[in-house]
Amino acid sequence: MAVRLSRQIFQKVIYRCTANNHSPVFKSFVKATTKRQNVRFSSSGTSVSTLSFNRNKKLWGQLIASGGIFSATFGLVFIRKAECQVDERNNQLLAAIKDGNNREVKRLLKGGVSPNCRHVLGWTALQQAAVNRNLEVVKFLLEVGADPNLGDEFVNVNITSREKRLNTLQVLMAREEDFCDRLNNAANFKDCTALHYAVLVDDRNIVETLLQAGADPTKENALGHTPIMYVRSNTMRDLLQNREKEFQEKKLEREAEERRKYPLENRLKEFIIGQEGAINMVASAIRRKENGWYDEDHPLVFLFLGSSGIGKTELAKQVAKYLHKDIRKGFIRIDMSEYQERHEVAKFIGSPPGYVGHEEGGQLTKKLKECPTAVVLFDEVDKAHPDVLTIMLQLFDEGRLTDGKGNTIECKDAIFIMTSNLASEEIAQHALDLREESKLANKQKSTGVDNTELLEMVTISRNFKDFVVRPILKRNFRRDEFLGRINEIVYFLPFSRSELSKLVTKELEFWAKRAANKHSIELMWDHHVVDVLADGYDVHYGARSIKHEVERQVVTQLAMAHEQQMISKGASIRIVVPNYSDLTKGKNISGMEPNNRVIKLQIKRQGAKEFTDLKFKSSANAFSVNDSFGS
């Protein structure tokens, strides 16, 4: 293993060692490296700058030992750093920016070095140019495609040294000498952009250049600070305030135009099959909120009702993706089955002072502090203890929550979604009536008919909600005030036959893509297979029953054929129903005997002209009629 160390790294190590009057070997080494000469030892005459570690372990030992414990620590750390260098050209670009060598910077960028490259400790080339007030390099980096909104991955000296597993003093030296020595190394610089650094060094020209290139003046760092919070002069403050207003106005215009061209309903329908009534109701409420037609003192609260596996959780996730770019912070999921006991309220909002875990905070309050506008999903809310529901009353009514430390979290702009399986049997039994109401609502939306003209036509469904579903909810939640704080109760209906076909097709397409990417196998099928697999639908388990049916009848056979080496790369697999000719004579698939609903595989190997049946060994055949469906 040949270890190649840069002159700059060696100089740092040796300088520290000679400052403490260590071995004269290091003094001569510093002098030689300053003159960019190779250092040679009389014992071996080997050049240190390209010294082979395996062949010269003794010499390396002498070098480290002569510097004492201090140099040994630095020597080993810097050796590891040198071994981990990935792209020397990126390092050359960053070094040229630091040295102010603009000509070298342009040469490297024209030679293909990425303008968004990062230092090993996390900062970008644009951030380095901005903090060193190099306007010419900033302009050139932006011209070749540097992103002005990238955040710094460097936190501070202590945290970054732990994350990178480097010596603290090494990180401190690298930050000061490779980036900037005028910054507070104990401060948190995580997610600071080039605009943050330009404001920190109070360079108006660079700030204006970054803003003109599309830098976001409202972008926050890890501490939640925007660039304007670091201004030192009134002129800079006025500039950023004006640009913030312009940026917000343009952003709102772009978002409004995007909503007009591509409504939220269409976005949600790309990911969710069926449930048009639920999608329209949620989209309408969010549209009121986005356009300012809502009560700003109260958050939006939904209750999603329906059986398992029918799209309740997925709809909540897609709403969060629509509203927030960072889904990790913008979507908070709380499994309410974990709060079935009274004492678990502390886990919800945090333990009071004097109790174990007081400093950790609650699962909900801690996340709401990070993102007060998040979409919060309370999954299976009917399983929570009544004391937890009492806390949620304050949350839903006033849009604020007090944690165990006594701090109040304001979250009036958050969206709260509760899911429950309550009344799922009743909803399934009245699915036809509820679906008819959904169709009428869609027709009203498309034709512009006023809702008052349809009241008499949906009386049955209204009675169902008031006299069937609501008593069930009251019996379980035991309080009217809790139900009164819910803006919309959204009903999720069982899938229709056409929706089941779409679910089956989507699942088969998933496995076809997996077969192509992982095994280089083409998977195909026809509508008869889709019809047979759709019969596996169970109203109690929703889409999950379709997923399991495809796995049982199709994927299991594919796995067995692969295990027995019956299929190879480049082959084509066709999924068939052998008795499909009977199905064309008017027989109802759902009414067929189970023994007739058999799915089999046919294969066309690479170079073959026709498909042939896959025949499994009888001793290992897991797909016989009796085994698959019972006798």
Residue 25 token pair: 């070997």
pLDDT at residue 621 tops 70: no
| Annotated domain spans of the chain | 7-83, 88-253, 264-472, 497-629
Is the overall model pTM greater than 0.85, yes or no?
no
Strands 572-576 and 415-420: unpaired
**Residue 379 confidence (pLDDT):** 94
- Please state the rounded mean pLDDT for residues 198-225: 91
Residue 294 token pair: 């809502």
Phi/psi-derived region of residue 423, left when phi > 0, alpha when psi is between -120 and 50, beta in every other case: left
pLDDT tens-digit map of 538-581? 888 889 999 999 999 999 999 999 888 888 888 899 999 886 55
pLDDT at residue 30 tops 50: no
- Please state the rounded mean pLDDT for residues 56-71: 42
CATH code of the region 88-253? 1.25.40.20
**Residue 96 confidence (pLDDT):** 92
Angle subtended by helix axes 312-323 and 276-290, to nearest 10 = 30
pLDDT at residue 9 tops 60: no
Distances in Å between the Cα of 115 and the Cα atoms of 84, 88, 118, 213 are: 21, 14, 9, 14
8 A C-beta contact, residue 421 and residue 382: yes
pLDDT at residue 31 tops 80: no
Residue 570 token pair: 């480049």
pLDDT band at 64 (very low <50, low <70, confident <90, very high): very low
**Residue 585 confidence (pLDDT):** 47
**Residue 357 confidence (pLDDT):** 64
What is the percentage of the chain residues whose pLDDT exceeds 70?
75
Cα separation, 204 vs 211, in Å, equals 11
Tokens 């960019």 identify what position? 36
**Residue 508 confidence (pLDDT):** 94
**Residue 546 confidence (pLDDT):** 93
Give me the residues paired with residue 401 across strands: 409
CB atoms within 10 A of CB 574: 18
pLDDT band at 437 (very low <50, low <70, confident <90, very high): low
**Residue 607 confidence (pLDDT):** 79
**Residue 432 confidence (pLDDT):** 67
Closest C-alpha to 210, from 255, 143, 154: 143
pLDDT band at 76 (very low <50, low <70, confident <90, very high): very low
**Do the two domains 88-253 and 264-472 of this chain adopt the same fold?**
no
**Residue 249 confidence (pLDDT):** 86
* DSSP result, 122-144: S-BHHHHHHHTT-HHHHHHHHHT
pLDDT at residue 611 tops 50: yes
pLDDT band at 627 (very low <50, low <70, confident <90, very high): very low
8 A C-beta contact, residue 60 and residue 52: no
Cα separation, 250 vs 254, in Å, equals 6
pLDDT tens-digit map of 92-131? 899 999 988 999 999 999 888 999 999 989 999 999 999 9
Say which residues have a Cβ less than 8 Å from residue 551's Cβ, sequence separation at least 6: none
**Residue 169 confidence (pLDDT):** 87
Give me the residues paired with residue 301 across strands: 416
pLDDT band at 366 (very low <50, low <70, confident <90, very high): confident
Strands in 488-491's sheet, in edge-to-edge order, are 331-335, 375-379, 415-420, 300-305, 488-491
- Please state the rounded mean pLDDT for residues 141-170: 90
Q: What is the distance of C-alpha 543 from the center of its chain?
A: 24
For 264-472, give the CATH class.
alpha beta
Task: Give the burial class of 600: count Cβ atoms within 10 A of its Cβ; 0-12 exposed, 13-18 middle, 19 or more buried.
Answer: middle
**Residue 481 confidence (pLDDT):** 86
pLDDT at residue 148 tops 90: yes
Which of 84-93, 279-288, 350-359, 447-456 has the weakest average pLDDT? Answer: 447-456
* DSSP result, 167-184: -HHHHHHHIIIII-SSS-
Residue 239 token pair: 């500039």
Cα separation, 75 vs 13, in Å, equals 7
**Residue 618 confidence (pLDDT):** 56
Tell me the residue type at 251.
K
Tokens 């913008």 identify what position? 330
- Please state the rounded mean pLDDT for residues 259-274: 86
Give me the residues paired with residue 400 across strands: 410
**Residue 380 confidence (pLDDT):** 92
pLDDT band at 441 (very low <50, low <70, confident <90, very high): low
**Residue 554 confidence (pLDDT):** 92
pLDDT at residue 622 tops 60: no
How many residues are recorded in the chain? 631
**Residue 580 confidence (pLDDT):** 58
For 497-629, give the CATH class.
mainly alpha
What is the percentage of the chain residues whose pLDDT exceeds 90?
32
pLDDT at residue 448 tops 80: no
608 phi, psi to nearest 5 deg: -80, 160
pLDDT tens-digit map of 168-191? 888 898 888 889 888 888 889 999
Cα separation, 403 vs 349, in Å, equals 5
Cα separation, 179 vs 476, in Å, equals 61
**Residue 446 confidence (pLDDT):** 58
- Please state the rounded mean pLDDT for residues 137-149: 93
More confident residue, 255 or 97: 97
pLDDT band at 50 (very low <50, low <70, confident <90, very high): very low
**Residue 439 confidence (pLDDT):** 65
pLDDT tens-digit map of 313-344? 999 999 999 888 778 889 999 999 989 888 88
**Residue 150 confidence (pLDDT):** 92
pLDDT band at 132 (very low <50, low <70, confident <90, very high): very high
CB atoms within 10 A of CB 49: 17
**Residue 356 confidence (pLDDT):** 66
Mean pLDDT over the full length of the chain: 78
Strands 522-524 and 572-576: parallel
